Structure 1
Amino acid sequence: MAGEGLRENAAMSENTLLLVDGSSYLYRAFHAMPDLRNAQDEPTGAIYGMINMLRRLREQFPARHAACVFDAKGDTFRNQWYAEYKAHRPPMPDALAAQIEPIHAVVKLLGWPVLEVPGVEADDVIGTLAAEACRHGRRVIISTGDKDMAQLVNENVTLINTMSNETLDVAGVSAKFGVPPERIVDYLTLVGDTVDNVPGVEKVGPKTAAKWILEHGSLDGVMAAADKIKGVAGDNLRKALEWLPQGRRLVTVVTDCDLTGHVTDWPEFEALALREVDREGLLAFFTRYGFKTWRKELEDQLGRSAAVGNQAPLPPGQTGDLFGVTAAPPARAVRDKRYETVLDIETLQAWIERLQAAPLAALDTETDSLDPMRARLIGISFSVTPGEAAYVPVGHSYADAPAQLPLEEVLQRLRPWLEDASRPKLGQHVKYDLHVFANHGVEVRGYRHDTMLESYVLEAHKPHSLESLGERHLDRKGLSYEDVCGKGASQIPFAQVEVARATEYSCEDSEMALHVHETLWPRLEAEAGLRRVYEEIEMPVSALLQRIERNGVLIDADLLARQSQELAQRIVALEGEAHELAGQPFNLGSPKQIGEILFGKLQLPVVKKTASGAPSTDEEVLEKLAEDYPLPAKILEHRSLSKLKGTYTDKLPQMINPATGRVHTNYAQAVAVTGRLSSNEPNLQNIPIRTPEGRRIREAFVAPPGHVIVSADYSQIELRIMAHIAEDVSLMRAFTEGLDVHRATAAEIFGLPPEQVSSEQRRYAKVINFGLIYGMSSFGLAANLGIEQKAARDYIDRYFQRYPQVKRYMDETRASAKDKGYVETVFGRRLWLPEINSPNGPRRSAAERAAINAPMQGTAADLIKLSMLAVQRELDAAGKATKMVLQVHDELVFEVPESELEWVRTEVPRAMAGVAQLRVPLLAEVGVGPNWDKAH
């Protein structure tokens, strides 16, 4: 709320001085951005981040006067005071050092005055400017994430942290640190600063420091009372008494530095007036460093200016349309980690009060199982600010474990906050934690953010574990599960982990999630399409998937047992038939023995070889050989039935949850780069349905008495999306008029009236329609149809002649993907293609094919997710007992009371068809049956 008021008041920009801690921003930009490179392989990520941060700041906090302040090279006066000052800081990474000079240049091009004073730290320059501005009645806004700067806050000076959206005025400093701004130096002296290598009082953290200062009035008061302070903390204080005056001197921001030659004309500050943006200079800069999108937008702007005459310069303090979307600045650095183990009610209650007051709190669970439906709590951690967290152990059971609070009492006290939807929460892989709390009867509400999903929406092609996010975005390497529990046979359950070690591990998970969020969320905020995907699709879908997983699906275990027995008999028969064809017994599960029989004894042609040079016996090879030889066909059938038996008919009954009598799959939301969900433990999306045996597996997914299974799926969804994206008139007409699209395509390709198209010609057209969606070449089409490659090429040429907009879409998409490195869905999901410019030909070709298909497959994924949400809203609004139990690609499966069947038959397809307005109508079809197979 304070931030909103600040923005409103900032309209009085004439009297405002905006100061930026540029050196802090350098590192934040470097660590937040990926390793971007231009065509010359020069690092550009920090440059990119710096530009975006300054633009965003200038837009949100208009001011007439400003400065971006950087540290100069070399030592400062503090090094003369204390030789060990900052002695442990690692050297600047080479990739960042290479970007310093261009960053200074582009900051100036953006109109910012730049200050760099030799021998004086940026903090002291900012402190001096702020003090002078206040003396002349000006208002000062300081943009920084450095807690040391809180000492500068007064009635005229406010700190803002654009990463965390935190605003610190006098009241904000007192609330955050427990002491007012005029006592921050005393506070910092006691606590110390490990980053700058300034010792404090050993074992004295923020709480103790604030408590002492409040009790004794000041650092001097604390020092005077040192003999009266008891315990280890008192002993350490007395040991540090000689050092503390020097420590206070080191952490005090100097506010009277000599800035002669750097800032003149006090108090008018005209040397610090924001200037108009140098567009011509920026154009050359963007060209030099490969910022193509910004360059194009600038070229457009300059072109418009030329067309209408000289455009007026941007007024100081205003940004206009400054060249593209705004990315967010990176997260503040975490200097000191303060983790607390909660073993008593008083401490727990104090943390609950902090959680209730927090604008956003991170939450994490530690459990005894990875199975979300069975996991029980071992501990809970939470954090309200990066670097600070608490862990509440409730289930550690090793021999000398400390006494822990009873789980039920902890949950009872936390429940009002946990179940309050108005208290914003975040986590990493929130769906799992929702399950864990639900296992204990707690329905957590108010989850606003999931760092795993934030990462997935921003960069789906990269890993999304918290450990990898910390390394990639914060340059922080956290503890892994193996670090605390061990590996392999020696791994211990989490309940056996020492509480102190568990505190370190779990607290780090909570506060690092909050820290990662500070980096990722502003980037999402700045991109409207990605933010919509995150807020309107992924986050609500995560909550819905948790409901679907808990619903589970009913399995007929007896039917599967009978199927398993039948499969076993058929597998044994196939082994006998294969042995007879081979003329000897052999192991049908051994690729080596299969190779010896096929290519040694029977001398079958070698289709391809493995990396080691041996003849391959993979599925593709066996399918090719099966066209002419019976033994490979038997081996393939044996493999297929063995997989069905091992993966489904044997395994599914073992996966029935004894508490619910159902199978509960897990939907992985952040795996497929296209946005599709994947199912595991068990995988219910890959049940083979092209064979009778595979289809029979679905017979075992049944409805309970008084219910039926309903299946609803989209008709030809990817072709419809192709028609929408390509805006092809012929394809759009076929769908709009409800024609058989494959027959219509065949009529176009073969130049026939639709009624004269043969079934074979329609089959060809169907293969072409779907093949081109997946970027199929003439070679692939020839192989698929069993025709000559020239004939396949002729068919494709004829197709593109009749559907020219499809050809245009494909060509433009390839070109755009090469330029941007990604393609997008209709809804704005970004689908990255890391190999699109690869020097490796096959990889590049595969990426080009993916570029064509990904927008359609990704849009289909978005549509089915939107459909899930729309249908569930309808079910909830109507108070229906119908349950969504499965999602498989473009299909939703429901368990429906017979009394609700007619409603479902009408309303579900209507809701699915209405989730988006494309250029062609969406069509959802419904099937009904006693089991999943019969519902098709």
Structure 2
Amino acid sequence: MSQAPLVLVDGSSYLYRAFHALPPLTTSKGLPTGAVKGVLNMLKSLRKQYPDSPFAVVFDAKGGTFRDDMYAEYKANRPSMPDDMRVQIEPLHQSVIALGFPLLCVEGVEADDVIGTLARSSAAADRPVVISTGDKDMAQLVDGHITLVNTMTGSALDVDGVKEKFGVAPEQIIDYLALMGDSSDNIPGVPGIGPKTASGLLVGVNGGLTELYAQLDIVPTLPIRGAKTLPAKLEEHKEMAFLSYKLATIKIDVPLDIGLDDLQMGQPDHDKLAELYTLLEFKSWFEDNQRDAKRSGQEVVAPVVEEAAVAAELKYTTILTQADFDVWLQKLNDAKLFAFDTETTGIDAQQAQLVGLSFAVQANEAAYIPLTHSYMGVPEQLDRDTVLRALKPILEDPSKLKVGQHAKFDMNILANCAIGGDQSCGITVQGIAFDTMLESYVLDSTATRHDMDSLALKYLNHTTTGFTDIAGKGAKQLTFDQISLELAGPYAAEDADVTLRLHQTLQAKLNAIPSLSKVLSEIEMPLVPVLARIERQGALVDAELLGIQSVELGKKMVELEREAYAIAGEEFNLGSPKQLGAILYEKLGLPVLSKTAKGQASTAEAVLAELADQDFTLPKVLMQYRSMSKLKSTYTDRLPEQINPRTGRIHTSYHQAVAATGRLSSSDPNLQNIPIRTAEGRRIRQAFVAPKGYKLLAADYSQIELRIMAHLAKDEGLLHAFRNDLDVHKATAAEVFGVELTDVTTDQRRSAKAINFGLIYGMSAFGLAKQIGVDRKQSQAYIDRYFARYPGVLAYMERTRTQAAEQGFVETIFGRRLYLPEINAKNPALRKGAERTAINAPMQGTAADIIKKAMVAVDNWLTSSGLDAKVILQVHDELVLEVREDLVDQVREEIRTHMSNAVTLDVPLLVEVGVGNNWDEAH
């Protein structure tokens, strides 16, 4: 049997990463605890993974180290430790010790040095070592015995992994760091040398720093960008490079008072853990500790604390009798607001079957009503149809307010659940006033994931029971109806309880920012039932036509493959980067524009596209081949498989809480990304068809983001163009190129269109030059002339940058916020990226808000009118409807009116409406 590895944990690295990466948790008394919880979670996970291993958790000691003596500026640019992190160090250390982990802090050296010494000693004794860290410096320690694992990302690095990630072997990592430096530790390195150049130099000389400086004469011949200027740069900074080498070298000979035999795990100190978990308000861990103590024969007396700091008593009920069900029916009828959740056999809302429902009317009290659990020995459950008929009036009553977590899923499940075998007789849930997923999303779209588990941890400091905890994983995972009620009941009840408690917390935060509360109540929540209806309606697709298209795409791919072989002069695997690289760069001699981490010439799509732009024939053919392959695998082959057997339609899922700016996204299938710039891409839309007696109607906002720009910037030139229904691209061309409107050429209009849209997305002069085929100087002149003609646009951009930097966020017209954590970053690239986002987000976010408001308005009109017309798709700024043929003219005008009037701007909203037998015709 192989020996269990020594596990060495870089506690300081994980403390910093947990503090900055995980949600900021605090106790009821304001004590920060997020970093403590993050590190302890990681340690517990490691302990489960390596149950028989000796451990050491190593932290940096207070005070300086020998590196500070060596280089006074070492780590000088690091900001001082935040107070919220500092106060967590002591409780973290105490918790680590109380859990039984050996903890080490050695003065005068860093945690890395202690870990390096222990790792090398263990490896010398032929014992395997696992170093748990997120620090790239540790890669220098990797060898046949020592592996790095990053518990926060789940990644591992052995010798081959180091080579793949950094492009150099572990024994070259110190040299690699010495050349490129390390800004986080203020290790200077050689100015201007980054990761690719550093690895390229070391691979090129097949050695380290010493070998490199002995062979500076061959550096200009290496395949590295700017190789000719590198020798002088390296010579100039030679002294700093070798100093950086010393600073980056981890000591492996630190005198230690303990040996490897002293690193065995100790027994948990349950009394101390009870004290710490109470202080930190880790309620579920407190309970776990009490149970573990009892199992080991100890009786732990809970410390005397305020009631709020101890886990509240949970009253979770699994309802199996009519009497208990009647009690809860009354509770639901009496409640001003209740939370509900469904448990199902799967996650496809159009095909999954209802297994049970859970409800909560007050915090810490919830019930689960199982309906169709089917494992051997399951207790008798209440009759499914009887329960659903009793709940139907309550769930369909709009005056009985409800809260859900991703409630659209539950709405669709209940709408699709046939009562008494009648497929048309489901439950149309009404009165959903709040959705905790959307409350979190509106509060801050980028702060966290918006699933219930993440929200519970962030806002309630509560670790929920995961589905895999009760159902297992992989091929043997159970569906919910196969899970015992002993496990399923508390799990389901917790879902409803946590949803209600989350709402209580999130609503208070939203109420403190009225504009966000309004976005939730007036845009997001009214949209939920609209999207649910669109998803259930689905879209009709012609599977036979898709099959024909698949065959045709396959034939074109074969033709393109043959053409590629002819150009290359030999057959090769078009999907193999290695073979493709050999053909492009070695045989055909095409210029190498970019390299992979391993130092190989890149064949990535962006590189092929750039080569194609330079008129190289084979890259053009390869780009066409890849485009055809993607269309075939993603759409023509896949869409027929996604037709629902019950409805004969495709039902996409729309996501409100994914895109940071507020835009909707879709999946299974993703209809937002069907390419329409190629004939083959547009043909995919031809397969979305109208049933007999109906037409498809597509209504699309025209140039909506430019119109929003005109409204926000208040620029008279743009306002005039839109108010007078001018061709805005032609008007811009006339201004930029200094010609009369009637004299604008097609090429000038195309360039003006690129300028109009490019500036919205922060395109640089370089990017514009590339797009319109002029040199950089000329494109900059166009941009300068644009801003001279449209000064309001420039003023808006400057104003937005300033406001974003001051307040940390930007807003849409309706008050939706996008927070920009990197708007004041010291790194220029990060800061510039945030500034581009700041300029574009109000436009993109406002466009998203407008289409959402339009969808609600159109849905209200269709519902009240009773017309035989339904929205079946939403893609970007477009709505697609299925309309009975004799109603097309009426619906066309009404749709245009409702969408145009969704909001009042300083310029009119133009809606283009098309009609056809398929989506492509209508669009």
CA distance in 1: counterparts of 2:549 and 2:440, whole angstroms: 43
**What do you get for the CA RMSD once the two structures are aligned?**
3.3
- Residues 853/445 of structure 1: CA separation in 2 closer, same or farther (3 Å cut): same
CA distance in 1: counterparts of 2:494 and 2:640, whole angstroms: 39
Shift of 1:762: 1.6
Is 2:847 the counterpart of 1:870? Answer: no
Q: What is the aligned partner in structure 2 of residue 696 from structure 1?
A: 683
Shift of 1:89: 5.0
Of the three residues 456, 460, 465, the one matched with 2:441 is 456
Shift of 1:416: 2.1
SS of aligned partner of 1:586 = coil
Q: What is the aligned partner in structure 2 of residue 421 from structure 1?
A: 398
Structural mapping, 1:333-348, within 5 Å: 335-348=312-325
Shift of 1:25: 5.3
Is the 8 Å Cα contact of residues 85 and 197 (structure 1) preserved in structure 2? no
Is 2:527 the counterpart of 1:550? Answer: no
Is the 8 Å Cα contact of residues 380 and 391 (structure 1) preserved in structure 2? yes
Is 2:747 the counterpart of 1:760? Answer: yes
Structural mapping, 1:588-607, within 5 Å: 588-607=574-593
What code does the residue aligned with 1:915 have? A
Q: What is the aligned partner in structure 1 of residue 349 from structure 2?
A: 372
SS of aligned partner of 2:359 = strand
SS of aligned partner of 1:826 = coil
- Structure 1 length-normalised TM: 0.67
- Residues 498/721 of structure 1: CA separation in 2 closer, same or farther (3 Å cut): same
CA distance in 1: counterparts of 2:275 and 2:458, whole angstroms: 22
CA distance in 1: counterparts of 2:379 and 2:865, whole angstroms: 51
Shift of 1:381: 1.0
SS of aligned partner of 2:921 = coil
Shift of 1:835: 2.4
Q: What is the aligned partner in structure 2 of residue 816 from structure 1?
A: 803
CA distance in 2: counterparts of 1:195 and 1:24, whole angstroms: 17
CA distance in 2: counterparts of 1:588 and 1:571, whole angstroms: 11
Is the 8 Å Cα contact of residues 436 and 499 (structure 2) preserved in structure 1? yes
Structural mapping, 1:854-865, within 5 Å: 854-865=841-852
Of the three residues 438, 463, 466, the one matched with 2:452 is 466
Is 2:611 the counterpart of 1:611? Answer: no
SS of aligned partner of 1:662 = coil
- Residues 252/25 of structure 1: CA separation in 2 closer, same or farther (3 Å cut): closer
Of the three residues 366, 375, 397, the one matched with 1:398 is 375
Of the three residues 879, 884, 892, the one matched with 2:866 is 879
SS of aligned partner of 2:698 = strand
SS of aligned partner of 1:809 = helix
Q: What is the aligned partner in structure 1 of residue 517 from structure 2?
A: 531
Is 2:563 the counterpart of 1:573? Answer: no
Deviations 1:512-547 (A, max 9, x none): 111111110111122221111111111111110000
Shift of 1:470: 0.6
Deviations 1:438-460 (A, max 9, x none): 11111111111110000110111
Is the 8 Å Cα contact of residues 669 and 678 (structure 1) preserved in structure 2? yes
Is the 8 Å Cα contact of residues 198 and 250 (structure 1) preserved in structure 2? no
Q: What is the aligned partner in structure 2 of residue 481 from structure 1?
A: 467
Is the 8 Å Cα contact of residues 313 and 364 (structure 2) preserved in structure 1? yes
SS of aligned partner of 2:597 = coil
Is the 8 Å Cα contact of residues 274 and 290 (structure 2) preserved in structure 1? no
Q: What is the aligned partner in structure 2 of residue 837 from structure 1?
A: 824
- Residues 368/198 of structure 1: CA separation in 2 closer, same or farther (3 Å cut): closer
What code does the residue aligned with 2:810 have? V
Is the 8 Å Cα contact of residues 27 and 33 (structure 2) preserved in structure 1? no
What code does the residue aligned with 1:356 have? N
CA distance in 1: counterparts of 2:808 and 2:848, whole angstroms: 20
SS of aligned partner of 1:348 = helix
Q: What is the aligned partner in structure 2 of residue 774 from structure 1?
A: 761
- Residues 31/338 of structure 1: CA separation in 2 closer, same or farther (3 Å cut): farther
CA distance in 1: counterparts of 2:598 and 2:521, whole angstroms: 49
CA distance in 1: counterparts of 2:840 and 2:834, whole angstroms: 10
Of the three residues 254, 277, 282, the one matched with 1:90 is 277
Is the 8 Å Cα contact of residues 28 and 333 (structure 1) preserved in structure 2? no
Shift of 1:343: 1.1
Q: What is the aligned partner in structure 1 of residue 776 from structure 2?
A: 789
Shift of 1:84: 8.8
Of the three residues 417, 427, 449, the one matched with 1:442 is 427
Which piece of structure 1 moves more, 372-381 or 712-721? Answer: 372-381
- Residues 716/87 of structure 1: CA separation in 2 closer, same or farther (3 Å cut): closer
Shift of 1:750: 2.0
Shift of 1:636: 1.1
Shift of 1:572: 1.3
Q: What is the aligned partner in structure 2 of residue 678 from structure 1?
A: 665
Deviations 1:207-249 (A, max 9, x none): xxxxxxxxxxxxxxxxxxxxxxxxxxxxxxxxx9xxxxx99x9
- Residues 539/565 of structure 1: CA separation in 2 closer, same or farther (3 Å cut): same
Is the 8 Å Cα contact of residues 278 and 310 (structure 2) preserved in structure 1? no
Q: What is the aligned partner in structure 2 of residue 26 from structure 1?
A: 29
CA distance in 2: counterparts of 1:450 and 1:876, whole angstroms: 23
Is 2:384 the counterpart of 1:407? Answer: yes
Is the 8 Å Cα contact of residues 334 and 387 (structure 1) preserved in structure 2? no
CA distance in 2: counterparts of 1:350 and 1:591, whole angstroms: 66
Q: What is the aligned partner in structure 2 of residue 621 from structure 1?
A: 607
Is the 8 Å Cα contact of residues 31 and 474 (structure 1) preserved in structure 2? no
- Residues 252/494 of structure 1: CA separation in 2 closer, same or farther (3 Å cut): closer
Over the matched positions of the two proteins, sequence identity in percent amounts to 51
CA distance in 2: counterparts of 1:375 and 1:645, whole angstroms: 28
Unpaired segments ≥5 residues, structure 1? 1-22, 48-82, 97-145, 147-193, 203-239, 241-245, 254-330
What code does the residue aligned with 1:925 have? E
SS of aligned partner of 2:867 = coil
Deviations 1:464-514 (A, max 9, x none): 010000111111111111111112223222222121111121111111111
Shift of 1:592: 2.5
- Structure 2 length-normalised TM: 0.68
Unpaired segments ≥5 residues, structure 2? 1-25, 39-77, 88-269, 418-425
CA distance in 2: counterparts of 1:597 and 1:342, whole angstroms: 68
Shift of 1:816: 1.5
Is the 8 Å Cα contact of residues 460 and 673 (structure 1) preserved in structure 2? yes
What code does the residue aligned with 1:929 have? G
Would you say how many aligned residue pairs link Structure 1 and Structure 2? 659
Shift of 1:437: 0.6
Which piece of structure 1 moves more, 395-404 or 679-688? Answer: 395-404
Deviations 1:411-450 (A, max 9, x none): 1222221122111111110000001111111111111111
CA distance in 1: counterparts of 2:83 and 2:463, whole angstroms: 22
Shift of 1:586: 1.5
CA distance in 2: counterparts of 1:611 and 1:197, whole angstroms: 46
Q: What is the aligned partner in structure 1 of residue 170 from structure 2?
A: none
CA distance in 1: counterparts of 2:309 and 2:771, whole angstroms: 55
SS of aligned partner of 2:922 = coil
CA distance in 2: counterparts of 1:41 and 1:605, whole angstroms: 47
CA distance in 2: counterparts of 1:829 and 1:908, whole angstroms: 25
Structural mapping, 1:123-134, within 5 Å: none
Which 4+ runs in 1 deviate beyond 6 A? 28-32, 38-41, 44-47, 83-86, 194-199, 249-253
What code does the residue aligned with 2:369 have? V
Shift of 1:780: 1.1
Is the 8 Å Cα contact of residues 402 and 433 (structure 2) preserved in structure 1? yes
CA distance in 2: counterparts of 1:84 and 1:719, whole angstroms: 65
- Residues 607/333 of structure 1: CA separation in 2 closer, same or farther (3 Å cut): farther
What code does the residue aligned with 1:564 have? S
What code does the residue aligned with 1:687 have? I
Of the three residues 651, 671, 687, the one matched with 1:664 is 651
Is the 8 Å Cα contact of residues 721 and 860 (structure 1) preserved in structure 2? yes
